[in-house]
Amino acid sequence: MDDIVKQAMGKWPDVPACYGWLGLDARGNWYMRTEQVQRLGAFASGYPDVKGSLLRHEKLIAFIQRNYASDMQGQWFFQNGPQRVFVELEITPWIWRVQEDFSLCAHTGARTHSTACLTDEHGWLYLETPLGLGLVHTQDMVLAVQAIEAGLWIPQSVLRSDLPTRYGYTLSPARTQQEYISTAK
């Protein structure tokens, strides 16, 4: 996490969190979601136009990725100075790019390696790593197949719906927050 972010958190410790405004898709792209976009549906719903606006500003994306983390409830967020901006996930908190040596690079640039390989009922390929669970980027499936054929990764079947609970992450912190508010009333 950036030092300037840590300083801002110390200076303004009680800034309310932000929910629903930022999304991470299955290809590692970041999206800004306005209130109007959020009203169209959940980020992971697959409905047209629910993702929002694709972020393209390289320095903003780099800032988000340096300050990307999760809380104790498995909710992923971007720490934007003193404000925690929770991230809506399309599929997993990590998107892996497979390297020529079969090591992995996350959408954030973090390097890691696979400790387990999973496939879901739709044929999507996931890798468990010391950083957590992530989806293999679609452009890297040729390398992933090579790793499987070489016996480096041995796929195990899993249901997609079981992944968040099994690996302790929340797809939609906004929905979790709404449920919390409605039960508190």
Q: Residue 109: what are its φ and ψ, rounded to 5°? A: 100, -10
- Are 66 and 122 in the same domain? no
- Are 82 and 116 in the same domain? no
Q: Tell me, what's the pLDDT at 82?
A: 84
Q: Is the pLDDT of residue 53 over 70?
A: yes
Percent with pLDDT over 90 in the chain: 82
- Are 79 and 11 in the same domain? yes
Structural domain containing residue 155? 94-167
- Are 30 and 83 in the same domain? yes
Q: 107 near 25, Cβ under 8 Å? A: no
Q: Tell me, what's the pLDDT at 2?
A: 67
- Are 10 and 65 in the same domain? yes
Q: Count how many domains the chain has.
A: 2
Range from 28-32, 38-42, 78-82, 173-177 that averages highest in pLDDT: 28-32
Residue-wise pLDDT tens digits, 61-86: 999 999 999 999 999 999 998 899 99
DSSP states of 104-156 as a string?
EEETTS-EE--SEEEE-TT--EEEEETTEEEEEPGGGHHHHHHHHHTTSS-EE
Q: How far is CA 15 from CA 12, 31, 60, in A?
A: 6, 22, 21
- Are 36 and 100 in the same domain? no
- Are 34 and 84 in the same domain? yes
Q: What angle do CA 98, 102, 104 make, to 5 degrees?
A: 45
- Are 9 and 70 in the same domain? yes
pTM equals 0.90
Q: Is the pLDDT of residue 7 over 80?
A: no
- Are 107 and 176 in the same domain? no
- Are 146 and 108 in the same domain? yes
pLDDT-derived band at 55, boundaries 50, 70, 90: very high
- Are 85 and 173 in the same domain? yes
What is the C-alpha to C-alpha distance for residues 149 and 116, in angstroms, rounded to an integer?
15
- Are 33 and 119 in the same domain? no
Q: Which contacts of 10-18 are long-range, i.e. CB under 8 A and separated by 24 or more positions?
A: 11/82, 12/81, 12/82, 13/82, 15/81, 15/82, 15/83, 15/84, 16/83, 17/77, 17/83, 17/84, 17/85, 17/86, 18/80, 18/83, 18/84, 18/85, 18/86
